Structure 1
Amino acid sequence: MIPDRQIKHHDRERSSWVRLRTLVILRWIAILGQITALVVSVRILGLDLEVGLAAMAIGASIIANLFSTFLYPETKRLSELEAMLMLLFDLLQLCLLLYLTGGLNNPFALLVLAPVTIAATFLRLRDTAILGIITILILTALAAWHIPLRSMAGDVLQMPDLFRFGFWVALVIGVVFLGAYARLITSEIHEMSDALLATQMALAREQKLTDLGGVVAAAAHELGTPLATIKLVSGELLDELGDDPDLADDVRLIGEQANRCTAILRSMGRAGKDDLHMRRVPLEGLLQEAAEPHLMRGKRLEFVISDETEMPARQPIIERRPEIVHGLRNLVQNAVDFSSDKVLIESTWTDKSVSVRISDDGPGYPSAILARIGDPFMRRREDTSRPGYEGMGLGLFIAKTLLERSGARLDFANGGALGGALVAVTWNRDQIDPSKGDRAGGLGENLPFGD
């Protein structure tokens, strides 16, 4: 799982993800649009504009782009301050053009929404708010002070005061609404991205542990024969060297060390799952393994295994997949964290399905977030019955994502067998039981290690 400080670090550095080249391209597009609008206004619409001053404003933007292009590499990432200053420059340049071309009477005043919306997607909230306030102040100033639009005949072109006031209100609302909307959507995307990254890291870690255990188990299996030979030969030598105590001690030491090697390999290979016999485990064994890290945390974990079929049936043999083990482990951890004394882990199965129910005797899930359980980084839990716990959102999201990847369906509720929180995990049996469906069959030949 990604530590909270690492996720916060990613959030702080997200503003540095934007390349200078991206904003430069957007500025070139804006410059092209401004030049086109200026030419059309003068040559086609016949408006009397301050062409020289407007051209200087557009030229300033062109010079800024050229400096940015030639002074910095295309791969340069903008810092928070640099991105803020670039957007502020674009805002001021656009507002200067609006001042020269009628202020809010110019329909292109709508474009002032662009810098604030762009800022909301990658700048921090403080900088976005500052840019938004500056935009609103400039819009207010443009409503009162500007060079009026005139036709070639000298007629002043402007909206009635009521319409101009309504346009100002609409622009202010647009700045606030679009900024907040872009901020919320972008934050949601970033949080989901971080949560999926944490899920992928958790799954990768579990897979590495599984692979390492498999290698150790295979090595232990292959080394068993030579170690047994060493023990046998050392025992025979010990019988023949009974008259030489020094040599007998050395041979005895060889046998002891061979026994020790056997014990070490057996211990290291205990979790090895590369062999198909060990990769497929009974449901009870899988649940025991998932709960093992939490057995000594001072809470009682009770396992109940039952069969819902009418006729006695064998216990399902489950594929020991990393996402299943890690997902169940996270659910058990959450139950242990909030239980008062006891956690109940129940498993049932039929010919069609396999279910696992994990319940605790704690206060249960807060009703305010019960419908949102499984979303990453849930906040505002300070007033709930589970105060002070900051890992539930991400931990349950990881568990839910991993288990759903294996084909499970998760249901969260209160009022389980122990009166507290309850989570039910259900699979179609042919999705996780190799003896069902298309994956049924023998285990195949055990191949020698290293051949």
Structure 2
Amino acid sequence: MSTQPPRLPPPAPEDAAARNMRLLVLLRWLAVGGQLATILIVHYGLDIRLPIAPMIVVLAALVMLNVMTWLGHPHWPVTNFQLFGTLACDVVALSVQLYLSGGASNPFVSLYLLQVVMGAVLLHAWSSWALVGLTSLALGLVAWLSPPLALPPWFATTLSPVYVIGLWCNFVLAAVLLVLFVTRIAANLRSRDAHLAAMRQRAAEEDHIVRMGLLASGAAHELGTPLSSISVLLGDWKGEAAIRADPRLAAEVDEMQAEVMRCKTIVSGILFAAGEVTGEAPERTTLRRFLGGIVAAWPGQVTFEDRLGEDRGIVADRALAQALTNLFDNAAEAGASAILLTAKLEETMLVLTVADDGSGFPAAVLAALGRPYNTSKDRRGAGLGLFLATNVLRTLGGTVQARNRPEGGAETILRLPLVSLALEGSR
């Protein structure tokens, strides 16, 4: 029997800063090669005498910096400050080379703009502007302090001070505009990427909801038949003489019938929320009656604080009712002895607040609010209460907020447009 070596996990992808550092290292190798070729061609091919020794020393320093960066960056995280320092070293090296080779009269003085563009793309905003200041200062010093370069008669040229000042002003203007527009474009791209990531997350959550809905709808169909059978059997038992003669058994049968009816109501609500026809027309009611019915139907004790003022006609939304019931269940499982539902209107928004005196939300639950199976409970299927409430409110055009109360317990605030529940004629 041949044994296969275990598969190794794929390497973790490098972050953007590390990839940018590797790109800068590659560009510096190209710069070193280009500068060396230019120095040799100008010095030996065009017979323009350059200070070869100090210029080669600058190239050697760049090579050493490149080797140290290449060997060191896998061992520590690359930061924005390191990228800025790398580009600053390149600006200093370019400035020294220009100082030794004619200053502002050197045609390669425009390479400062390359450093500005790379800084605008790779760095944070503050460091991009710092690089603009550094390159502007370096160009000014090079133009002012560089000694004249001895040129053959056919290459000799003289730049007037006014031209040099204009060259510097032109560079500063171009650098400022480049950084201004490139950073704006980069910010727009980051905003677009964040929006796309949020949309992908929402699509994944909605796909999860669809799968849950299919499973819940199938389970509701399968539960309908046994619940009906149990209801019939309980009706038969209630007619038995032995049960009618025993008040305790008769009360238990009545209680079981009530619980079976509650289960059938829940099953009907699941089918209704899944978009399946159950033979029931949409229920027209009022906002106060709708919320009061949810509180009355929950088996525990909930206090309803009515701040609605004038009552409004609505269509009962079973998904919203189920979301509130889930929040009540969560509060009870968190050990709450008092649960308060507060309802009020803020202009066109309905604000529902569920507050309790339980153990509150763990920090991890609040940090990932609205994600499925986000819970501190160990039982299977837990963590869907806030997830379903969040997505029900999102479907209705509303939002969900959750926090821990300073005095203890948790508080969940649901905001939704009242028009999403209003009757057709009043929309």
TM-score normalised to structure 2 length:
0.58
Structure 1 residues 44, 20: closer, same or farther in 2, change over 3 A? same
**What residue number does 1:128 align with?**
128
Question: Contact 2:42–2:48 at 8 Å: present in 1 too?
Answer: yes
1:108 is displaced (CA, Å) by 0.8
**What residue number does 1:221 align with?**
221
Question: Contact 1:104–1:143 at 8 Å: present in 2 too?
Answer: yes
**What residue number does 2:348 align with?**
299
Higher relative contact order (CA 8 A, sep 6+): 1
Q: 2-side partners of 1:224 and 1:251: how far apart?
A: 20
**What residue number does 2:69 align with?**
68
1:85 matches 2:85: yes
Q: Could you report, residue by residue, the CA deviation over 1:190-211 in whole angstroms, capped at 9, with x for unpaired residues?
A: 2222233333334444443344
Question: Contact 1:214–1:269 at 8 Å: present in 2 too?
Answer: no
1:296 is displaced (CA, Å) by 5.5
Question: Contact 1:104–1:168 at 8 Å: present in 2 too?
Answer: no
1:93 is displaced (CA, Å) by 1.2
Q: 1-side partners of 2:34 and 2:423: how far apart?
A: 66
Q: Could you report, residue by residue, the CA deviation over 1:102-123 in whole angstroms, capped at 9, with x for unpaired residues?
A: 1111111111112221121242
User: For residues 303-314 of structure 1, what are the structure 2 equivalents within 5 Å?
Assistant: none
Question: Contact 2:17–2:79 at 8 Å: present in 1 too?
Answer: yes
Q: 2-side partners of 1:328 and 1:53: how far apart?
A: 72
Q: Could you report, residue by residue, the CA deviation over 1:251-292 in whole angstroms, capped at 9, with x for unpaired residues?
A: 55444333332223333444224x6x69xxx9xxxxx899x9
Question: Contact 1:211–1:272 at 8 Å: present in 2 too?
Answer: no
Q: 1-side partners of 2:179 and 2:37: how far apart?
A: 28
Q: 1-side partners of 2:395 and 2:44: how far apart?
A: 68
1:65 aligned partner, one-letter code: N
Secondary structure of 2:146 counterpart: coil
**What residue number does 1:263 align with?**
265
2:223 aligned partner, one-letter code: L
Answer with 1 or 2: which has the greater Rg: 2
User: For residues 243-262 of structure 1, what are the structure 2 equivalents within 5 Å?
Assistant: 243=245, 250-262=252-264
1:180 is displaced (CA, Å) by 1.7
Q: 1-side partners of 2:423 and 2:91: how far apart?
A: 62
**What residue number does 1:319 align with?**
none
**What residue number does 1:439 align with?**
none
2:348 aligned partner, one-letter code: K
User: For residues 261-410 of structure 1, what are the structure 2 equivalents within 5 Å?
Assistant: 261-273=263-275, 297-299=346-348, 329=397
1:175 aligned partner, one-letter code: A
Aligned length: 297
Secondary structure of 2:397 counterpart: helix
Structure 1 residues 327, 213: closer, same or farther in 2, change over 3 A? closer
TM-score normalised to structure 1 length:
0.55
Secondary structure of 1:329 counterpart: coil
Q: 1-side partners of 2:219 and 2:260: how far apart?
A: 15
Structure 1 residues 159, 264: closer, same or farther in 2, change over 3 A? farther
Q: 2-side partners of 1:296 and 1:47: how far apart?
A: 84
Q: 2-side partners of 1:91 and 1:289: how far apart?
A: 69
1:217 is displaced (CA, Å) by 2.6
Structure 1 residues 227, 15: closer, same or farther in 2, change over 3 A? same
1:53 aligned partner, one-letter code: P
**What residue number does 1:42 align with?**
43
2:197 aligned partner, one-letter code: L
Q: 2-side partners of 1:101 and 1:289: how far apart?
A: 82
Structure 1 residues 251, 328: closer, same or farther in 2, change over 3 A? closer
Structure 1 residues 166, 81: closer, same or farther in 2, change over 3 A? same
1:57 is displaced (CA, Å) by 0.8
Q: Could you report, residue by residue, the CA deviation over 1:201-234 in whole angstroms, capped at 9, with x for unpaired residues?
A: 3444444334433432332122111111222223
**What residue number does 2:7 align with?**
none
Q: 2-side partners of 1:105 and 1:73: how far apart?
A: 41
Gaps of 5+ in 1: 1-13, 283-287, 302-322, 331-336, 348-358, 360-451
1:141 is displaced (CA, Å) by 0.6
1:22 aligned partner, one-letter code: L
**What residue number does 1:33 align with?**
34
Question: Contact 1:121–1:182 at 8 Å: present in 2 too?
Answer: yes
Q: Could you report, residue by residue, the CA deviation over 1:32-84 in whole angstroms, capped at 9, with x for unpaired residues?
A: 2222222222232222111111111111111111111112229x652121111
Structure 1 residues 124, 70: closer, same or farther in 2, change over 3 A? closer
Secondary structure of 1:48 counterpart: coil
Percent identical pairs in the alignment equals: 25
Question: Contact 2:18–2:73 at 8 Å: present in 1 too?
Answer: no
Q: 1-side partners of 2:176 and 2:193: how far apart?
A: 26
Secondary structure of 2:150 counterpart: strand
1:146 matches 2:146: yes
Q: 2-side partners of 1:328 and 1:145: how far apart?
A: 69
Q: 2-side partners of 1:92 and 1:49: how far apart?
A: 19
Q: Which ranges of 4 or more aligned residues in structure 1 deviate by more than 6 Å?
A: 292-295, 325-328
**What residue number does 1:189 align with?**
189
Q: How well do the aligned residues superpose, as a CA RMSD in angstroms?
A: 4.3
Question: Contact 1:31–1:62 at 8 Å: present in 2 too?
Answer: yes
1:132 is displaced (CA, Å) by 0.7
